Amino acid sequence: MRRRNVLLIYPRFATGTFWNYRATCEAVGRRCPAPPLGLITMAALLPPEWTVRLIDCNADALTDDDLAWADLAMTGGMLVQQCSTFAIMRRCRARGLRVVVGGPDATSSPQLYSEADYLVLGEIEPILANFVAAVDNGVTSGRFETERYSTDIATAPIPRFDLLDFNHYLQIGVQFSRGCPFLCEFCDIIELYGRVPRAKSSAQMLAELDALYAAGWRGHVDFVDDNFIGNKKALKVFLPQLADWLKARNYPFEFSTEASLNLADDSELLALMRAANFFAVFVGIESSDESTLIATRKKQNTRRDIAASVRRIYAAGIFVVAGFIVGFDSEDDSVASSTGRLIENAAIPICMIGLLTALPNTELSRRLKREGRLFADYDLSADDDGDHCTQGLNFTTKRPRHAVLADARDLIVEVYRPERYFGRLRRMVRALDCTGYYPAIPLRRDLYEIIRLGWHCLVANAEIRREVWKTVIDCARHNPPALRAALRITALYIHLGPFARYAAAALERKTAEANAAPVAVVMAATG
Ligand code: B12
Ligand code: SF4
């Protein structure tokens, strides 16, 4: 095998996005939330003769010297990274450097990446060796594609954590399973990763955590599973072993993940997650309206009191971050007020409020196309400055478009008023039962962060300091063990407060545009 220098390049996320936590990262001296798990997983399958370096463009600048060093560039990411991926591709090719593109967006929309020399699509574990052999045999371009949902996750290697500079990140991702058993109409997870969740064995997963521990990481680890509880049987075997693993090492990690709301129905699972130091879970609630949930096939959220379900998760010491969507066909003009009421009742401080987006290859985009409502040429990543909170609705809406946009704006403005956000946080903190939770070993770096955060939130930031003092005092009086969660959610407001203002202004502009040009929008839809 010929020696090669391979540069992995993780594209930049668009700037105005909910998830980039930019201001919070700056406040605590980090550069971005999380590293590229897909790229470092793929890197672990490259031959040892290939020397690999990683440039995460969210943390470091990609220089001409980096490109001059490389014999091959490998890049790719999500839809929101498309503009950056294209720019990387062109910059490499202008220098005569061959480019390999893979990852979720290229897998969903390969036709957009025709400038790449090689496309390596899908979960690449079964086919990466074919690609490597082709490159080694002098093949200069090609397309390699894994059969969907067929990858045996037991073949997923331990990611190359050694390629990361841990100082850049708030958290590190790991993955236990791929796929989700549900059928939500707008979801592309089930198109990319399938409906049969494939889980790693406990031994495989613990070996990954061993590697992360040995590499020196301590603190927040995020299980990036599509639905952590998708394969409950495997999870119930794994979690007790994870709890033992943590105990034996004096609790070096604390975990977050993503799961469906039916987690609230399984008290055994909640207890196991609590024992394994889970402190947060992202849940897609999407709508407060039962008929909308039925129409969008989010059946796991129906026939239940959503606020009560959230509170059951709080009672296990785990706080909920929730996703909501505006723009469903069946919603009416009360969407902003009814969703706002649910968010208040459930006391969920952090809510991602997105516009419905018909992602490529989803049931939703297929239906809208059949109905003649999907915008054919709508570029979802066009202005490189937003995510689903400000971009989306790439179809003719049932309600007037300006009304949908105005409702999304009103909801974001209301939910992120400091007194609302911190009011919900105080109620959440009282409901959070943190018994048996072991914060990850505090390091000097954590203390430094806490001091910086304390200064920022309690002294320097005039917009929130009153609310933060009230929250800290309330928490100290009523539930001191929940202080860590309260601080975390406070820290995230440093980004979310300004982001909400940015999103509201962007939605305001779009509302005015939709008001001014309703005819043009309909023509674009049918043309
Ligand atoms: C963690 C995660 C995030 C994290 C990102 C952390 C980070 N730095 O990467 C956060 C929370 C920030 C995030 C946010 C968003 N995300 Co996201 N996210 C994920 C999630 C759950 C896991 C990603 C991961 O690490 N997977 C594990 C690795 C091992 O899998 P993988 O990335 O697919 O990699 C494999 C292959 O694709 C391949 N591969 C990957 N890269 C490359 C590159 C090359 C060159 C090659 C050859 C192969 C290759 O090798 C790997 C092994 O097989 C995925 C779902 C998923 N199952 O992947 C969604 C997912 C990637 N996200 C998605 C979306 C839409 C978003 C958002 C836009 C959501 C929103 N509503 O706003 C935001 C935007 C972010 C922003 N800042 O604007 C979509 C992407 C769809 C698309 N067509 O691009 C996904 C698929 C799921 C979904 N439907 O929500 N996300
Ligand atoms: S529960 Fe989440 S991952 Fe599963 S199908 Fe629905 S939206 Fe997709």
DSSP 359-384: -TTSHHHHHHHHTT-B-TT--TTTTS
pLDDT per position as a tens digit, 186-197: 999 999 999 999
**Which string of b and e fits 343-362 if b means at least 16 CB within 10 Å?**
bbbbbbbbbbbbbbbbbeeb
pLDDT per position as a tens digit, 452-468: 889 999 998 999 999 99
The pLDDT-based confidence of 16 (bands split at 50, 70, 90) is: confident
Residues 324 and 244 in one domain: yes
HSE (CB half, 13 Å, CA atoms) of 503? 32
Domain span at residue 98?
4-15+41-145
Mutate to test the pocket of ligand 1, among 6, 15, 17, 19 (most ligand atoms within 8 A of CB): 19
Phi then psi dihedrals of residue 199, to 5 deg: -110, 150
Q: How crowded is residue 501: how many other Cβ atoms within 10 Å of its Cβ?
A: 13
The pLDDT-based confidence of 388 (bands split at 50, 70, 90) is: confident
Residues 188 and 119 in one domain: no
Residues 53 and 199 in one domain: no
pLDDT value at residue 443: 62
HSE (CB half, 13 Å, CA atoms) of 222? 18
Q: What is the CATH number of the domain that holds 306?
A: 3.80.30.20
User: Within a domain: residue 522?
Assistant: no
pLDDT value at residue 515: 87
User: How many whole angstroms separate alpha carbon 214 and alpha carbon 193?
Assistant: 30
pLDDT value at residue 438: 79
Residues 301 and 372 in one domain: yes
Residues 127 and 178 in one domain: no
User: Within a domain: residue 259?
Assistant: yes
Residues 217 and 256 in one domain: yes
Per the DSSP assignment, residues forming a β-bridge with 101 are: 75, 119
User: What is the number of structural domains in the chain?
Assistant: 2
pLDDT value at residue 452: 86
pLDDT value at residue 100: 98
Residues 305 and 366 in one domain: yes
pLDDT value at residue 107: 95
User: Within a domain: residue 501?
Assistant: no
Ligand 2 atom nearest to 286, measured from its CA: 7
**Which string of b and e fits 142-178 if b means at least 16 CB within 10 Å?**
eebebeebebebeebbbbbbebbebebbbbbbbbbbb
190 lines ligand 2 (CB under 6 A): yes
* pLDDT exceeds 60 at position 97: yes
User: Within a domain: residue 83?
Assistant: yes
363 lines ligand 2 (CB under 6 A): no
Q: Could you give the angle at the alpha carbon of 206 between the alpha carbons of 254 and 105, nearest 5°?
A: 80
Residues 65 and 184 in one domain: no
The pLDDT-based confidence of 527 (bands split at 50, 70, 90) is: very low
DSSP 44: T
Residues 141 and 177 in one domain: no
User: How many whole angstroms separate alpha carbon 409 and alpha carbon 392?
Assistant: 13
Phi-psi region of 459 (alpha: psi -120 to 50; beta: other; left: phi over 0): alpha
189 lines ligand 2 (CB under 6 A): yes
pLDDT per position as a tens digit, 242-279: 999 999 999 999 999 999 999 999 999 999 999 999 99
pLDDT value at residue 65: 98
Both tokens of residue 480? 């001191």
pLDDT value at residue 128: 97
* pLDDT exceeds 70 at position 95: yes
Q: Which residue spans within 330-478 are E strands per DSSP?
A: 351-355
Distance 448 CA to ligand 2 centre (A): 38
User: Within a domain: residue 516?
Assistant: no
User: How many whole angstroms separate alpha carbon 429 and alpha carbon 475?
Assistant: 7
Give the number of whichever ligand sits closest to the CA of residue 10. Answer: 1
* pLDDT exceeds 90 at position 451: no
- The domain boundary, picked from 145, 160, 194, lies at 145
Q: How crowded is residue 521: how many other Cβ atoms within 10 Å of its Cβ?
A: 17
Distance 324 CA to ligand 2 centre (A): 13
Both tokens of residue 38? 């897909």
pLDDT per position as a tens digit, 281-303: 999 999 999 999 999 999 999 99
User: Within a domain: residue 274?
Assistant: yes
Both tokens of residue 149? 């949902």
User: Within a domain: residue 288?
Assistant: yes
User: Within a domain: residue 82?
Assistant: yes
- The domain boundary, picked from 383, 402, 430, lies at 430
Q: Which helix (H) or strand (E) holds 237?
A: helix 232-248
- The domain boundary, picked from 430, 456, 478, lies at 430
pLDDT value at residue 520: 46
Residues 240 and 316 in one domain: yes
Q: Calculate the average pLDDT of the chain.
A: 94
* pLDDT exceeds 60 at position 522: no
For 34, 186, 359, 386, 430, the CA distances from 320, given in Å and listed in that order, are 19, 22, 25, 24, 14
Q: How crowded is residue 435: how many other Cβ atoms within 10 Å of its Cβ?
A: 9
* pLDDT exceeds 60 at position 384: no
% of the chain beyond a pLDDT of 70: 96
Region 232-243 average pLDDT:
98
Region 2-24 average pLDDT:
92
Looking at per-residue pLDDT, the higher value among 446 and 120 belongs to 120
Region 321-325 average pLDDT:
98
The pLDDT-based confidence of 313 (bands split at 50, 70, 90) is: very high
187 lines ligand 2 (CB under 6 A): yes
* pLDDT exceeds 50 at position 400: yes
pLDDT per position as a tens digit, 161-200: 999 999 999 999 999 999 999 999 999 999 999 999 999 9
Residues 126 and 210 in one domain: no
pLDDT value at residue 519: 45
* pLDDT exceeds 70 at position 441: no
180 lines ligand 2 (CB under 6 A): yes
The pLDDT-based confidence of 17 (bands split at 50, 70, 90) is: confident
pLDDT value at residue 510: 92
pLDDT per position as a tens digit, 152-162: 999 999 999 99
Both tokens of residue 460? 């320097």
Q: What is the CATH number of the domain that holds 67?
A: 3.40.50.2300
The pLDDT-based confidence of 330 (bands split at 50, 70, 90) is: very high
189 lines ligand 1 (CB under 6 A): yes
Residues 121 and 226 in one domain: no
